[in-house]
Structure 1
């Protein structure tokens, strides 16, 4: 029990340290966390409004793109932030009480809270400005956010080890992950894609996360091809394998 309490205190201290390092001691630091998604949504809305009369779902371009982008960020921002956890806290790993997993846990909770805060603010503003705001259903939104963040945590654990063992893997992962932004359903509805391309797109578990997230904002969205059991299975397997790999490489990570 004492061991668990010690790690909880370490994680709490690391969380505060990460907040100060990432956002600074002034509230203005958090503004930048809001500007990135807001800018993405604004640009996408302007571009697609010039080539289409209405979004693929609903009547609001900002809401459609914001629901896709925020859902995707629960995974993408998590992976990006966790990948540098060990390197950023290398000096602290010389202390016996600080374990490599503590840095991952601290960053996970900070990024999850940051993405959630950004999502609430950005989506809240968009919904408030809509002439006829719909009802928000929280269960699918929370489930999608948790599933996306768990995928990010699993992939982040794997990457942390693989980046140290195989430097080339880091470059390969960067190249492979870039198209994910385009094929995760941010710009389109997977149900509208013709066969056989629809089945290929649905192999991406993030597509299902985005679909579920959107059902929380659109009552009329049925998401016929949604399969969260597939997404949850993928999240569990990556997290399980990531934990095994990370645990087996704890000494390597501490001495990296």
Structure 2
């Protein structure tokens, strides 16, 4: 008598989508659902920063480097910077944050990375739209937007954030001292990212070194999209994408090789 052979259990359909969605919902509750105001704080933080900077620098300078509106100028530099700093730091801690769930076979370290990136990227993009629209409406501005330049700046911003976040996810989890060293190294970035000025205002002998920072390229490219008269001649998207790809490849290779060891730390 022939007995039926046992069949291997079928894999769940859309397993990655289910895992990423569940992790996103969990982070939404833990990050925004338990604090008063919830998502409102994600919007109020950049608004308060832009308002404070505008008030201070309007007393020092007659006009910003581009245009005549301080909040509009600083928002185009501050919002991409906050996107990069916040999300790259969150990605660096994503494995530690989702460590209890990595014990389940259905959840991988890539699920944890993707969930944290998608949720926070969508949140920050929403903040960008709300803040920039609010400034335009409040000050009755009539800018000529170059959407192709803005989309290129967004692509550069996303690629650099992912690259830095993936590599730091390995380094900060593997080496506890790295997170502190990285935090110290990033403190001057608030100035070196070009939030307060444009590369054309930097003395020529220092400009070459200033443009080694990929964030300066992203800020200038973003302003090219919001200021019709700004050409951003020193921006090199290829430079930013190359750095981002190299960082992302090294980060992914290290995480693929050592993610099981990292989960045990």
Same fold (TM over 0.5): yes
Could you list the per-position Cα deviations for residues 168-203 of structure 1 after superposition, in whole angstroms to 9, with x for gaps in the alignment? 222111111111111001011111111211111000
2:31 equivalent to 1:37? no
Tell me by how many angstroms 1:143 deviates: 2.1
2:86 equivalent to 1:77? yes
Compare CA radii of gyration and give the structure with the larger one: 2
Structure 2 equivalent of residue 170 of structure 1: 179
For 2:53 and 2:83, how far apart are their aligned partners in 1?
A: 19
The alignment's TM-score, normalised by the length of structure 2, stands at 0.91
Contact 1:158–1:241 at 8 Å: present in 2 too?
Answer: yes
Give the paired residue count.
256
For 1:157 and 1:208, how far apart are their aligned partners in 2?
A: 21
Tell me by how many angstroms 1:21 deviates: 1.2
2:200 equivalent to 1:191? yes
2:4 equivalent to 1:12? no
2:127 equivalent to 1:122? no
Which of 86, 99, 102 in structure 2 is aligned with 1:90? Answer: 99
Could you list the per-position Cα deviations for residues 215-255 of structure 1 after superposition, in whole angstroms to 9, with x for gaps in the alignment? 11100011121111111111111111111111111211222
CA root-mean-square deviation:
1.8
1:1-256 equivalences in 2 (<5 Å): 5-24=14-33, 28-256=37-265
Contact 1:83–1:160 at 8 Å: present in 2 too?
Answer: yes
For 1:13 and 1:182, how far apart are their aligned partners in 2?
A: 38
Contact 1:78–1:149 at 8 Å: present in 2 too?
Answer: no
Could you list the per-position Cα deviations for residues 44-78 of structure 1 after superposition, in whole angstroms to 9, with x for gaps in the alignment? 10011001111110111000000001121231111
For 1:26 and 1:174, how far apart are their aligned partners in 2?
A: 25
For 1:125 and 1:155, how far apart are their aligned partners in 2?
A: 30
For 2:174 and 2:92, how far apart are their aligned partners in 1?
A: 13
For 2:242 and 2:45, how far apart are their aligned partners in 1?
A: 31
Tell me by how many angstroms 1:5 deviates: 2.1
Tell me by how many angstroms 1:27 deviates: 9.0
For 2:181 and 2:141, how far apart are their aligned partners in 1?
A: 45
Tell me by how many angstroms 1:100 deviates: 1.3
For 1:107 and 1:141, how far apart are their aligned partners in 2?
A: 24
For 2:110 and 2:13, how far apart are their aligned partners in 1?
A: 13
Tell me by how many angstroms 1:94 deviates: 1.2
Q: Which runs of 5+ in 2 are unaligned?
A: 1-9
3-state SS of 1:188 partner = coil
